[in-house]
Amino acid sequence: MKIGNFEDIERIKERGLKKLKPEDRIRVSVGMATCGISVGGDAVFDAFRGMLGYRDDVILTRTGCIGFCHEEPLVNIYIPEKGILILHRVQPESVKDIVNNLDSVETLDSVLCQIDSWDHLVGGKIEYGNGFEGIPRWNELDFFKPQRKLVMRNAGIINPEDIDEYIAVGGYSALYRVLKGMTPDEVIDEVKKSGLRGRGGAGFPTGVKWELAKNEQSDVKYVICNADEGDPGAYMNRNEMESDPHSVIEGMIIGGYAIGAHKGIIYIRAEYPLALYRLQKAINEAKSYGLLGKNILGSDFDFEITISKGAGAFVCGEETALIASIEGETGRPRPRPPYPAQKGLWGKPTNINNVETWTNIPLIIKKGGEWFRQFGNEKSPGTKVFSLVGKVENVGLVEVELGTPIRTVVYDIGGGAPKGRKVKAVQTGGPSGGCIPAKFFDLPIDYENLTKVGSIMGSGGMVVMDENTCMVDTARFFLDFSVDESCGKCVPCREGLKQMLTMLQGISSGEGARSDLETLSELSETIKTTSLCGLGQTAPNPVLTTLKYFKEEYIEHVDKKRCRAGICEDLVYAPCHNSCPLGQDAPSYIAYIAHGEFDRSLEVIMRTNPFPGILGRVCDHPCELHCRAGEGGDPISIRALKRFAADRGAMPHIKIETEKDKRVAIVGSGPAGLSAAYFLRLKGYGVDIFESEDKPGGMLRIIPDYRLPKDVLDREIKRIEGFGVNIKYGIKVGEDKTIHELFNEGYDALFLGVGFRNGAKLNIPGEEAEGVFDGISFLKRVAKGEKLDLGENIYVVGGGNVAIDAARTAWRIAENANVNIVYRRTRREMPAIGGEVEDALFEWINIEFLTNPVKIITENGRVKAVEWVKMKLGEIDESGRPRPIPIEGSEFVTPVDTLIVCVGQTPDLSFAKGVEGLNLAGNTVSVDLDTMATSLKGVFAGGDIVTGPSTVVRAAAAGKTASESIDRYLKGGELKREFKVVFPSENVPLLKFSAEELKKLSLMGRVESPKVPLDRRRGSFVEVEKTLDVEAAIVEAKRCLRCDVKER
Amino acid sequence: MNAKEVQVYINGKTYGASEGEPLIGVARRNGIFIPSLCYEESLEPYGACRMCIVEIKNEGVKKRIVTSCTLHVFDGLSVETDSEEVLKHRKVLLELYLAQAPNSSKLKELALKYGVNRTRFRQKVRDNDPLNNSCVLCGLCVRVCSEVMGARVISFIGRGEKTRVNTPYFEQSELCLGCRACAEVCPTGAIEFRDDGGIRVAASWSNTKVELKKCNVCGKYYAPVKLDKRIDTLYYYRDKDGELRDMCPDCRRKAMTRKMTLIAENEVEKYAK
């Protein structure tokens, strides 16, 4: 049937609506775009077909992807009068359950959200029903809330293989309007008015482009749809074609009419078979309705569309190469001018637009250019679909208005990086784009802004990178792609990129030199300036931007032979070892546990760890964050295994080198001081520690007993003393003795391992009242055994480890009190160890986020209540976190009996008093971080006094580094540290597993340390975590992927 | 169609040109040196070697670097051929070339002209390279073979940095005329031909062999048979009885001279009578 008039369209529309929204039948549509099929959408569809085949009260269809690819396979279930329910992660096995419960499908666990009405824009809003109770609407989900669906107006709702449904949601009505009453100039005017810019990436105004092609005099003209989408990690065009192919076709017909072309070509890569199939089907259906072919809709306009399949060369996305490819030539770009608008395909005027540009056209014609301009910003109106991929929780296709900040896309929609890691950068525009570091995340996404920071919009790929991404490797990856895809015509792109790749490979394998970095940027500039086409002109962008924003990572690779993300294979033998500040050979000691050789395991640990019992309990384990087993499943419980070895293994025999006649004085017996003492003593030096308190341990001693029992602490320190380290108590360096006096006493070198031992103040009124503590002194007093009366309402201010320790301690002491933590940012920004926060929540400690104290209200000199204010997150500050801003008028008061302030710590700098030549940086000592040497000869420093409050393992590592440079210093050699690529210290054989065992291990989750039940924790300081038992430890150790073994 | 006469400024001096012609042609006509490896007047501009870059310095226009072979001149165009920016990029390009084609002495000469005597980049050396590690893939040989000679013997093989030029599948070609046009246009002297008795061997092109024609008079091999067939002596020399065929250019010249002399003598005699 050919459509000739408006009545025909109305008739088809009615028919389509009956399919889309049947009055008396349930409609099940399975998400079957490529993303859905790849995770089993077709199997789900088959399962539904098997179960529903005989039922005539249910319609089963396919649909495209609504964008939430992370939750695929999605199934839409339409229930008449109620609306559409979206089920997520549906597996074939669960289909039976769904079919049996079709009447009460809203009670299923797999319900994600509902759609009661959907604005199809072109055809207006369709009310699908009155809604289901208690189920969130689709746009109430975090993933969809900030989105604006213009291009994806029909995706995931209609059946893309049925033209009736497209017409039902207003399809081809824009074409009808154009052919029945608009001149080509009016069409172009409307597009110009909309301000639509090319969505292929360059952002050239579409209307202007059309006008150029229209003004060319020629009997034959062409319009081309560029569907050669090839950026790694970008697939929005694919989905647009798979989920709503008619939009593309309608846009092209309108474009053809506007410029006077009668032939359209869709250039699509053959590796998109589903898109190809659906496009071809859509073309055939459109033809049968008279929407393509001769005299479209009864007018005198003829238009044909054919599909031209490309072999998948990236460069064929460049318009002149694309034309060459359609003509049957090698896909190589040609010099411009002449531009395709003048001399394009077969030498005729040609207009090329991206899929997404075409998809926008029907909308602009139907709703008007003015309407379109309300979205996006002044220079970049409308929306853009991004494929959000990489290290982000919610992977999917995201359509946002242009001008939306990157932050919204990455955090609000994407949910940030998985496993609580920090997002480092995003790459937009694929291999032609650049890496945008997190500090620019407030940047509104539009063409100009992205260019400003060295990236490009591109066709919409957005790859998120977190701490586990190496920026050198990222640059190398994209460059590798560009080298592979370079056509080889012009020399800068062909030879230059290859040379850049060679250099980057050198850098990532530790063979780079500083001069390479300069050569890289010089070469990049030349390639950008002199390349023939867009591929070469943009290919250095990933390198240039990473060099600009992450230069320190390059320098680390070159100078320190270190890849902090643990990715560059030649520099990193295992990511756990690589991320350990102490450089613990984790794969080896874990492997020994798997072999059942616990003593050898402890021996390996003790080589680089002075107190495994302590670190096995309180380490913040960066190793587990980087563990490769954690990429697809759970990371190995490395800390628990270390503790197991420390508690189980027999103390190894540790050899002390021959006694040397040099002596070292160490100030402070905290983790940094103890670590320096231990390693110096093993080298044979005489070591004395000066401790101002009467007990050793420094900040270790204020860690509450439930995390680190005092007997463990004392045992570990005793052991260090056992090697011949003397600890002198009650001597405060700076007051009782000066640094100079120590040297005069015959010490040859000095190590400052002083902590940040005073709590910082809030500086608000009423802070001096009784019942207000700072976290450090609170913990210190509890540790000394003081009995404190805390009252009923306990509030802890802060989000760090001290805050959590204080809260959990208070919760234990005051058995009937309610304990609250108040933090001014959100959970994501909390600096405390994740596991500790979870434990606190488990202990029913309430955490109030985005709240800050304003005033302490006192009565008779005692705290009575606190006035709080709610906060909101603002722009990113120097710490890389969003700045909290008070919300005016949101103040409120709660009764408070005890307020514990844990908002930071300050050091006691009295040791530096009167010492000339010791450089300070604010309230820390400035050192050369490679050697820990201060500006004063023979004086070294490490730990909190250098970095500010940090973790135990970092302090211990600083002590270890300092001990090595003190050794070099005392031997009279070069102080400078030499960096080498590190290899495993042991060669532990691999265990043999049977296939069955291997399968079991690979499916297993991680073994956690057993914990004391909740009812035994309150009122007691019993250690919460227990040592793993032997069997559990061995199984957990067997799960290790053994990254250290390179060849099998 | 006569193009409009326009004026362009090259390095500050004014030159006349016809609108739309490539700038490199205007410059060369006026004795201004712009280096290039892939430009040849008889061929369409190709824009691959990027050596002919110049800087557009028109007022009010953003300064930019373009290749002069694809720069169509317009009235008032102002360019600088050796600006600081141009030289900077040209030197880097030369370094890339030196790394790509380390054996070409012509290239080294050009590089020296710009003070480039070494390359920071890793040299790309292939063992047994038929083009003697001198090819820079400018495409002149490929284009002259197809666009001018119409033979299409050689073409690009592969793509990206693995691109090479040779006969299809590295097999001897039956299409080669043996004209040596490719070797003639090659800017780096990479293409090797060898005449071996009656056979011309295109050593670079998979040892493609072409039969040579022997001169009837002096016995010298003078041209490939296939090319010789194309020489229309009747048209060029009014050689009605075909006696100039099968002669080498030297002998033909001699024969022509003899013929002319004879004609002249006849004329003189006629006049004298």
pLDDT, one tens digit per residue, over B186-209 is 999 999 999 888 899 999 999 999
Residue of B nearest to A482 (CA): B160
Q: For residue A436, give Cα distances in angstroms to A154, A402, A536.
A: 31, 17, 20
Q: Are A550 and A1021 in contact (CB under 8 A)?
A: no
Residue A114 has pLDDT above 80, yes or no: yes
Residue B244 has pLDDT above 80, yes or no: no
Q: Which of B61, B82, B103 is the last residue of a domain?
A: B82
Q: Residue B2's pLDDT is what? A: 65
Task: Evaluate whether residue B113 is within a structural domain.
Answer: no
Are B244 and B216 contained in the same domain?
Answer: no
Task: Evaluate whether residue B226 is within a structural domain.
Answer: yes
| Cβ-based neighbours of A566, under 8 Å, separated by 6 or more | A468, A470, A572, A574, A575, A578, A579, A626
Q: Residue A875's pLDDT is what? A: 76
Q: Residue A554's pLDDT is what? A: 94
Q: What confidence tier does B42 reach under pLDDT thresholds 50, 70, 90?
A: confident
Q: What is the DSSP letter of A652?
A: P
Residue A973 has pLDDT above 90, yes or no: no
Q: Are A132 and A106 in contact (CB under 8 A)?
A: yes
Residue B61 has pLDDT above 80, yes or no: no
Q: What is the DSSP letter of A685?
A: -
Mean pLDDT over A721-741 rounds to 89
Residue of A nearest to B90 (CA): A526
- Contact criterion met (CB < 8 Å) for B100 and A491: yes
Are B204 and B260 contained in the same domain?
Answer: no
Residue A778's closest CA among A749, A814, A830, A745? A814
Q: Residue A904's pLDDT is what? A: 87
- The secondary element (H helix, E strand) that includes residue B213 is strand B208-214
Q: How far is residue B134's CA from residue A184's CA, in Å, rounded to a whole number?
A: 55
Q: How far is residue A590's CA from residue B172's CA, in Å, rounded to a whole number?
A: 62
Q: How far is residue A466's CA from residue A883's CA, in Å, rounded to a whole number?
A: 21
Mean pLDDT over A330-354 rounds to 90
Residue of B nearest to A314 (CA): B160
Q: What is the DSSP letter of B116?
A: -
Residue in the block written with tokens 């070494």: B118
Of all residues in chain B, the percent with pLDDT exceeding 70 is 99
pLDDT, one tens digit per residue, over A582-601 is 999 999 999 999 999 999 99
Residues of B with CB under 8 A from a CB of A: 45-50, 53, 65, 67, 69-70, 72, 88-89, 92-93, 96-97, 99-100, 120-122, 124, 136-137, 139, 156, 158-163
Q: How far is residue B248's CA from residue A944's CA, in Å, rounded to a whole number?
A: 93
Question: What is the rounded average pLDDT for all residues in chain A?
Answer: 90
Residue in the block written with tokens 């800050």: A852
Residue B1 has pLDDT above 70, yes or no: no
Question: What is the rounded average pLDDT for all residues in chain B?
Answer: 89
Q: How far is residue A856's CA from residue A899's CA, in Å, rounded to a whole number?
A: 9
Are B23 and B72 contained in the same domain?
Answer: yes
Q: Are A519 and A566 in contact (CB under 8 A)?
A: no
Are B140 and B184 contained in the same domain?
Answer: yes
Chain B: give the shortest CA distance to residue A423, in Å.
34
Are B208 and B252 contained in the same domain?
Answer: no
Q: How far is residue A976's CA from residue B146's CA, in Å, rounded to a whole number?
A: 63
Residue A951 has pLDDT above 70, yes or no: yes
Q: How far is residue A458's CA from residue A268's CA, in Å, rounded to a whole number?
A: 17
Q: How far is residue A581's CA from residue A961's CA, in Å, rounded to a whole number?
A: 10
Q: What confidence tier does A880 reach under pLDDT thresholds 50, 70, 90?
A: low
Nearest residue, CB atoms, A491 vs list B97, B156, B159: B97
Q: What confidence tier does B17 reach under pLDDT thresholds 50, 70, 90?
A: very high
Mean pLDDT over A477-497 rounds to 92
pLDDT, one tens digit per residue, over A189-243 is 999 999 999 988 888 999 999 999 999 999 999 999 999 988 888 899 999 999 9
pLDDT, one tens digit per residue, over A534-543 is 889 999 999 9
- Contact criterion met (CB < 8 Å) for A483 and B161: yes
Are B150 and B76 contained in the same domain?
Answer: no
Residues of A in contact with B72 (CB under 8 A): 337
Residue of B nearest to A337 (CA): B70
Nearest residue, CB atoms, A491 vs list B69, B70, B96: B96
Q: For residue A810, give Cα distances in angstroms to A38, A697, B110.
A: 51, 22, 80
SS (H, E, C) A317-345: HCHHHHHHHHCCCCCCCCCCCCCCCCCCH
Residue A1038's closest CA among A589, A575, A638, A593? A593
Task: Evaluate whether residue B91 is within a structural domain.
Answer: no
Are B260 and B215 contained in the same domain?
Answer: no
pLDDT, one tens digit per residue, over A269-326 is 999 999 999 999 999 999 999 999 999 988 899 999 999 999 888 899 889 999 999 9
Q: How many domains does chain B have?
A: 3
Q: What confidence tier does B211 reach under pLDDT thresholds 50, 70, 90?
A: very high
Q: Which of B21, B53, B82 is the last residue of a domain?
A: B82
Q: Domain limits at B262?
A: 235-272
Are B209 and B264 contained in the same domain?
Answer: no
Residue with more model confidence, A313 or B60: A313
- Contact criterion met (CB < 8 Å) for B48 and A532: yes
Long-range contacts of A567-570 (CB under 8 A, 24+ apart): A567/A468, A567/A469, A567/A470, A567/A473, A568/A470, A568/A472, A568/A473, A568/A508, A568/A509, A568/A510, A569/A509, A570/A508, A570/A509, A570/A510, A570/A981
Chain B: give the shortest CA distance to residue A410, in Å.
35
Task: Evaluate whether residue B87 is within a structural domain.
Answer: no
- Contact criterion met (CB < 8 Å) for B161 and A330: no
| Cβ-based neighbours of B110, under 8 Å, separated by 6 or more | B35, B94
Task: Evaluate whether residue B168 is within a structural domain.
Answer: yes
Residues of B in contact with A499 (CB under 8 A): 96, 99, 121-122
Q: For residue A526, give Cα distances in angstroms to A313, A518, A1048, B94.
A: 24, 13, 44, 11
Interface mutation vs chain B, best among A491, A502, A507, A522, most B CBs within 10 Å:
A491
Task: Evaluate whether residue B115 is within a structural domain.
Answer: no
Residue in the block written with tokens 């300081």: A1021
Give chain A's domains with CATH numbers: 6-148 (3.40.30.10), 172-372 (3.40.50.11540), 383-568 (3.10.20.600), 575-653+990-1038 (no CATH), 663-757+907-970 (3.50.50.60), 758-905 (3.50.50.60)
pLDDT, one tens digit per residue, over A904-947 is 888 888 888 878 888 888 889 999 988 999 998 899 999 999 99
pLDDT, one tens digit per residue, over A171-195 is 899 999 999 889 999 999 999 999 9
Task: Evaluate whether residue B66 is within a structural domain.
Answer: yes
Strands B5-10 and B78-80: parallel
Nearest residue, CB atoms, A522 vs list B49, B92, B158: B92
Q: Is the peptide bond before B45 cis (omega within 30 degrees of 0)?
A: no
Nearest residue, CB atoms, B92 vs list A498, A502, A523: A523
Interface mutation vs chain A, best among B98, B147, B159, B188, most A CBs within 10 Å:
B159
| Cβ-based neighbours of A93, under 8 Å, separated by 6 or more | none
pLDDT, one tens digit per residue, over A58-84 is 889 999 999 998 888 999 999 988 899
CATH number at residue B28: 3.10.20.740
Q: How far is residue A488's CA from residue A645's CA, in Å, rounded to a whole number?
A: 57
Are B256 and B179 contained in the same domain?
Answer: no
- Contact criterion met (CB < 8 Å) for B156 and A330: yes
Are B268 and B183 contained in the same domain?
Answer: no
Are B27 and B43 contained in the same domain?
Answer: yes
Task: Evaluate whether residue B100 is within a structural domain.
Answer: no
CATH number at residue B199: 3.30.70.20
Q: In what order do the strands lie in the sheet with A263-269?
A: A304-310, A263-269, A222-227, A350-354
Are B14 and B73 contained in the same domain?
Answer: yes
Q: Residue B266's pLDDT is what? A: 87
Q: Are A465 and A428 in contact (CB under 8 A)?
A: no
Nearest residue, CB atoms, A487 vs list B46, B124, B159: B159
Nearest residue, CB atoms, B48 vs list A313, A486, A490: A490
